[in-house]
Amino acid sequence: MNEWKILGHLTDPTKFKKQETKQGEKLIFATVAINRFKGTDTNGESITEPVFIKFAAYRKQAETLASLNKGARVHVELNPYNKINTIEGKNYTSIEFTLKHLHVLDWPNKEFKLKEKPEMLDQPDENNNVSEYSDITEKKGWS
């Protein structure tokens, strides 16, 4: 199956179309903005234009998308599918997307704190020296 992987910024989540499926599951139509390279100007600077890619997300992914802020950097993995639209008696095929995986790369305006101090792999001895992994390699038989 085809899969599109896109790294971009969310557009304004307050403008996302929100609804529920017939089964009562949350559904959201979200948009990711990316830059399309068009070329360079006479000074060698890149010329880009924004491209907006719309997709549908369900259940927990829909809730997560709705909770994010405009401009949040995300990596989305999308599954494309064909949809046939009829306009003035003619059938047209369009490509639409459903969200497969959502990776939030940053959470603007939100702070995260560790619940507890992470455990160190190499604990210092009584002289404050840290081993050079010799104890780990001996235990695993890697020497």
Q: Give the global pTM.
A: 0.62
Is 15 in a helix, a strand, or coil?
Answer: helix
Fold classification of 4-111 is OB fold (Dihydrolipoamide Acetyltransferase, E2P) (2.40.50)
For 73-124, write each residue's pLDDT tens digit. 999 999 988 888 888 888 888 888 999 999 888 755 555 443 444 444 444 4
Residue pair 6/76 in contact by the 8 Å Cβ criterion: yes
Query: In the prediction, which pLDDT does 143 show?
Result: 35
What is the domain partition of the chain in residue ranges?
Answer: 4-111
Q: What burial class does residue 32 get, using C-beta atoms within 10 Å of its C-beta: 0-12 exposed, 13-18 middle, 19+ buried?
A: buried
Q: Characterise 39 by phi-psi region: left (phi > 0), alpha (psi -120 to 50), beta (else).
A: left
Is 45 in a helix, a strand, or coil?
Answer: coil
For 26-61, write each residue's pLDDT tens digit. 888 889 999 888 888 889 888 889 999 999 998 888
